[in-house]
């Protein structure tokens, strides 16, 4: 699969693509040095790298392979960015250990994924992958106790009413979000109820049978096995329309870091979640953007899935565009519809996500339980107001449609 857009993108975007990878080959090092040797819009480069969560890797590569091409002021700036992000990542990783220990002591099985666990599992270093929050998967029945623990640590729930007795049963949160503004920390708890972007609801008990141990900062932590983990990354990227370069880079780096990956088991897991098309889009992005090498049989499946290849091509163009390019309301609906093979399945999936009310719908208009069905009509109206009929650059990544 060729990567025409990567080679014709503006230099700042090309540089980000190369530096989003953990390891660079000699040819890629030459390309990076050639780009850095020429004029660059450094303000755009650094701000866009932050938007795409690849600043640590960008700083590392520029300081290690292009140091002699940078002026003294730029070197100091990159070193300061790297140091600040390293300290930040270590603080968040330590917080994860604290939360997991408290959950374990309370008899709650919480499975971390993304964030520091992904950094350790895929990149081999918790400081190399920028992250903003902690994501943990647990069972809905443990949420009351988990809520008490997280609140005891100083976090405040974004929606304090979501676990209350008077919360409408029809409202499904995207996640249970907690923030500690003083420490700039955020925790997101996910359950079988909130993981609504899975085409088929996940069985957490089943997933728990295939956990593996990852060590970071000297602490062993259980997370999802490689085969499940890769599929989960692709579901997450698809949920948020692949709006960050780091999400595509994660898929490529994760696949490279797992040389013994059982691809048959991976596909069985994707089928179990109804997420084979999502897996294909993520892998196609890895190939197009990062020249991810895959087994012949997997490449054959990607080539056969023309819709996935087309979607990945559109995502690639958006990621490499100069400015942010969020999808419009109708564009998001179409994207969701394309995430499942089969027209009927795609329409059902996109309609479900477009109409099942979420916490923002209840915040906009609080209806009694007896009128909760009206949210099915109100939600599409709110989404169109938020995202519009045309592409916009100010819409936040896919917490909604």
Residue 356 has pLDDT above 70, yes or no: yes
List Cα–Cα distances, 302 to 1, 235, 281, 287, 315, in angstroms. Answer: 10, 16, 8, 10, 16
* pLDDT score of 213: 94
* pLDDT score of 2: 45
Residue 394 has pLDDT above 90, yes or no: no
Contact 252, 290 (CB under 8 A): yes
My answer on whether 200 and 347 are in the same domain is: no
* pLDDT score of 24: 96
My answer on whether 99 and 183 are in the same domain is: yes
Residue 359 has pLDDT above 70, yes or no: no
My answer on whether 144 and 215 are in the same domain is: yes
Tell me the per-residue pLDDT of 111-151, one tens digit each, with 9 for 90 and over. Answer: 999 999 999 999 999 999 999 999 999 999 999 999 999 99
DSSP string, 344-384: HHHHHHHHHHHHS--HHHHHH----GGGGGGHHHHHHHHHH
Per-residue exposure over 176-191, b if at least 16 CB sit within 10 Å of its own CB, e if not? bbbbeeeeebbbbbbb
My answer on whether 64 and 154 are in the same domain is: yes
My answer on whether 280 and 378 are in the same domain is: no
| Distance separating alpha carbons of residues 181 and 185, to the nearest angstrom | 6
Instruction: Give the end of a domain, one of 293, 325, 357.
Output: 325
Give the global pTM. Answer: 0.89
CB neighbour list of residue 56: distance below 8 Å, 6 or more residues apart: 82, 85, 86, 89, 127, 128, 129, 130
Q: Say if residue 13 is exposed, middle or buried (CB neighbours under 10 Å; 0-12, 13-18, 19+).
A: buried
Domain, as residue range, for 57: 4-325
Instruction: Give the end of a domain, one of 325, 353, 384.
Output: 325
Answer with the residue of higher pLDDT: 3 or 84: 84
* pLDDT score of 274: 97
My answer on whether 320 and 376 are in the same domain is: no
To which residue do tokens 């040389």 refer? 259
Contact 33, 18 (CB under 8 A): no
Instruction: Give the end of a domain, one of 260, 291, 325.
Output: 325
My answer on whether 250 and 373 are in the same domain is: no
pLDDT category at 18 given cuts 50, 70, 90 is very high
Residue 355 has pLDDT above 80, yes or no: no
My answer on whether 161 and 230 are in the same domain is: yes
Q: How many separate helices (H) and strands (E) can be counted in the chain? A: 19, 7
Q: How many domains does the chain have?
A: 2
State the CATH number of the domain containing residue 111.
3.30.460.40
Answer with the residue of higher pLDDT: 295 or 328: 295
Q: How many CB atoms lie within 10 A of CB 274?
A: 18
The alpha carbon torsion through 48, 53, 56, 59 (nearest 10 deg) reads: -10
Tell me the per-residue pLDDT of 192-231, one tens digit each, with 9 for 90 and over. Answer: 989 999 999 999 999 999 999 998 778 899 999 999 999 9
pLDDT category at 67 given cuts 50, 70, 90 is very high
My answer on whether 239 and 309 are in the same domain is: yes
* pLDDT score of 219: 86
Q: What average pLDDT score do residues 11-16 get?
A: 97
Question: What end-to-end distance do the CA atoms of the chain give, in Å?
Answer: 30
Answer with the residue of higher pLDDT: 73 or 355: 73
My answer on whether 103 and 251 are in the same domain is: yes
* pLDDT score of 159: 82
**DSSP 8-state class, residue 38:** S
To which residue do tokens 């990354």 refer? 233
* pLDDT score of 201: 93
Tell me the per-residue pLDDT of 299-348, one tens digit each, with 9 for 90 and over. Answer: 999 999 999 999 999 999 999 998 766 788 889 989 999 999 988 999 99
My answer on whether 242 and 349 are in the same domain is: no
My answer on whether 321 and 350 are in the same domain is: no
Residue 245 has pLDDT above 80, yes or no: yes
| Distance separating alpha carbons of residues 322 and 317, to the nearest angstrom | 10
Tell me the per-residue pLDDT of 141-180, one tens digit each, with 9 for 90 and over. Answer: 999 999 999 999 999 998 876 777 666 665 677 889 999 9
């Amino acid at each position: 699969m060729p990567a025409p857009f990567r080679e014709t993108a503006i230099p700042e975007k090309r540089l980000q693509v190369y530096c989003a990878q953990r390891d660079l080959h000699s040819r890629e090092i030459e390309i990076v040095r050639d780009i850095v040797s020429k004029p660059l819009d450094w303000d755009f480069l650094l701000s866009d790298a932050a938007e795409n969560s690849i600043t640590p890797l960008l700083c590392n590569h520029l300081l290690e392979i292009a140091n002699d091409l940078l002026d003294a002021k730029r070197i100091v700036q990159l070193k300061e960015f790297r140091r600040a992000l390293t300290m930040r990542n270590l603080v968040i990783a330590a917080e994860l250990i604290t939360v997991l220990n408290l959950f374990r002591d309370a008899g709650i099985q919480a499975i971390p994924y993304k964030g520091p666990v992904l950094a350790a599992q895929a990149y081999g270093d918790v400081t190399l992958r920028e992250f903003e929050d902690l994501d943990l998967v647990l069972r809905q029945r443990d949420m009351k106790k988990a809520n008490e623990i997280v609140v005891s640590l100083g976090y405040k729930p974004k929606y304090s009413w979501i676990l209350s007795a008077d919360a409408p049963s029809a409202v499904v949160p995207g996640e249970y979000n907690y923030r500690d503004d003083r420490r700039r920390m955020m925790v997101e708890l996910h359950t079988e109820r909130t993981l609504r972007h899975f085409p088929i609801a996940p069985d957490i008990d089943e997933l728990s049978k295939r956990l593996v141990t990852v060590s970071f900062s000297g602490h062993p932590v259980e997370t999802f096995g490689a085969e499940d983990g890769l599929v989960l990354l692709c579901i997450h990227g698809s949920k948020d329309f692949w709006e960050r370069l780091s999400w595509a880079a994660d898929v490529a780096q994760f696949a490279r870091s797992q040389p013994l990956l059982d691809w048959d088991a991976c596909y069985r897991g994707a089928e179990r979640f109804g997420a084979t098309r999502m897996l294909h889009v993520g892998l196609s992005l890895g190939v197009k953007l990062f020249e991810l090498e895959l087994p012949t049989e997997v490449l054959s499946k990607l080539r056969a899935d023309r819709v996935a290849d087309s979607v990945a091509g559109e995502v690639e163009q958006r990621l490499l565009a100069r400015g942010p390019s969020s999808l419009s309301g109708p564009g998001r609906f179409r994207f969701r519809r394309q995430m499942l093979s089969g027209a009927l399945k795609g329409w059902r999936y996109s309609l479900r996500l477009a109409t099942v009310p979420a916490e923002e719908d209840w915040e906009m208009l609080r209806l009694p339980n007896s009128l909760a069905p009206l949210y099915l009509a109100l939600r599409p109206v709110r989404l169109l107001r938020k995202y519009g009929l045309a592409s916009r650059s100010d819409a936040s990544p896919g917490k909604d449609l």
